[in-house]
Structure 1
Amino acid sequence: MRAVAAIVLIVLLLYAAACVALFAFQRTLIYYPQPNSYGGPADTLILPSDVRVTVRPHAGPKALLYFGGNAEDVSANLASFARAFPGYAIYLLHYRGYGGSAGKPTEAALHADARALFDKVHQDHPQIAVVGRSLGSGVAVRLAAERPAARLVLVTPYDSMAAIAAAQFPYFPVRWLLTDKFESARHAQTVRVPTLILRAEHDDVIPRVSTERLHASFAAGVATQVVIRGAGHNSISESEQYLDAMRAVL
Structure 2
Amino acid sequence: MAGFASMLWLGLTAAVAANQRRLVFNPTVEREVEHPRSSGHRTRPVVLRAKDGTRLSGWLMTPRTPGLRPAVIYFGGRSEEVSWVVRDAGKLFPGMAVLAVNYRGYGDSQGDPAEAHMIDDACMLFDWMAAHHHVDPRRIAVVGRSLGSGVAVQVAKERPVHSVVLITPYDSILALAKRKFRVMPIEYMLRHRFESIKYAPTLKAPTFVLRAASDDIVPHSHTDQLVGKLAQLIGDETVPDSDHMNIPYLEDTQGRIARFLTSQFAKPVEAAGLPSTASIPAPAATEIVVAPATTAAAVVAAAAIPAPLAEQ
> Could you say whether these structures have the same fold, taking a TM-score greater than 0.5 normalized by the shorter chain as the test?
yes
Q: Which residue of 1 aligns with 2:168?
A: 156
Q: 2:74 is matched with which residue: 66, 83, 92?
A: 66
Residue 201 of structure 1 is matched in structure 2 by: 213
What is the match of residue 16 of structure 2? Answer: 22
- Give the structure 1 partner of residue 89 of structure 2: 81
- Aligned-residue offset at 1:42: 4.2
Q: 1:52 aligns with which of 51, 57, 65?
A: 57
Q: Which whole-Å CA distance do the structure 2 matches of 1:42 and 1:61 have between them? A: 17
Q: 1:158-187: per-residue Cα shift (whole Å, max 9, x none)?
A: 001000011111111112111100001111
What letter is aligned with 1:123? A
Tell me the residue number matched to 2:247: 236
Higher helix share: 1
Q: TM-score, normalised by structure 2?
A: 0.74
% of aligned pairs identical? Answer: 35
Give the distance between the partners of 1:233 and 1:51, measured in 2 at CA. Answer: 26
Query: What is the CA RMSD across the aligned residues, in angstroms?
Result: 1.7
Cα deviation, residue 16, structure 1 = 1.2
Q: Which amino acid aligns with 1:230?
A: D
User: Which structure would you say has the larger RCO, counting Cα contacts within 8 Å and 6 or more residues apart?
Assistant: 2
Residues 111-150 of structure 1, C-alpha deviation per residue, up to 9 Å, x if partnerless? 0110010011011221111000000000001101110111
Q: Assess, with a 3 A threshold, how the Cα gap between structure 1 residues 39 and 243 changes in structure 2: closer, same or farther.
A: closer
What's the secondary structure of 2:241's corresponding residue?
strand
Counterparts of 1:121 and 1:237 in 2: how far apart (Å)? 23
TM-aligned CA deviation for residue 247 of structure 1: 1.4
Q: 1:215 — aligned with what?
A: 227
TM-score when normalising by structure 1: 0.92
1:61 to partner: Cα distance: 3.0
State the secondary structure of the residue aligned to 1:52.
strand
- The one of 119, 134, 140 aligned to 1:128: 140
Structure 2: unaligned runs, 5 residues or longer: 38-42, 262-312
Give CA deviations for 1:23-66 in whole Å, capped at 9, x if unaligned: 00011112111123444994223233311122213452311100
Whether the 8 Å CA contact 1:199–1:228 is kept in 2: the answer is yes
Larger mean CA deviation between 56-65 and 223-232 belongs to 56-65
Separation in structure 1 between the aligned mates of residue 87 and residue 36 of structure 2, nearest angstrom: 10
Is the 1:38–1:76 contact (alpha carbons within 8 Å) kept by the matching residues of 2? no
Q: How many equivalent pairs are there?
A: 243
Letter in 1 for 2:258: R
Contact 1:202-1:232 within 8 A present in 2 as well: yes
Equivalent pair of 1:201/1:229 in contact (CA under 8 Å)? yes
Cα separation, partners in 2 of 1:38 and 1:232, compared to 1, 3 Å: same
- Unpaired runs of 5+ residues, structure 1, are 1-6
Distance 2:234 2:70 in 1: 21
Q: Take 1:184 and 1:38, find their aligned partners in 2: how far apart are those partners? A: 34
Residue range with higher mean Cα deviation, 200-209 or 234-243: 234-243
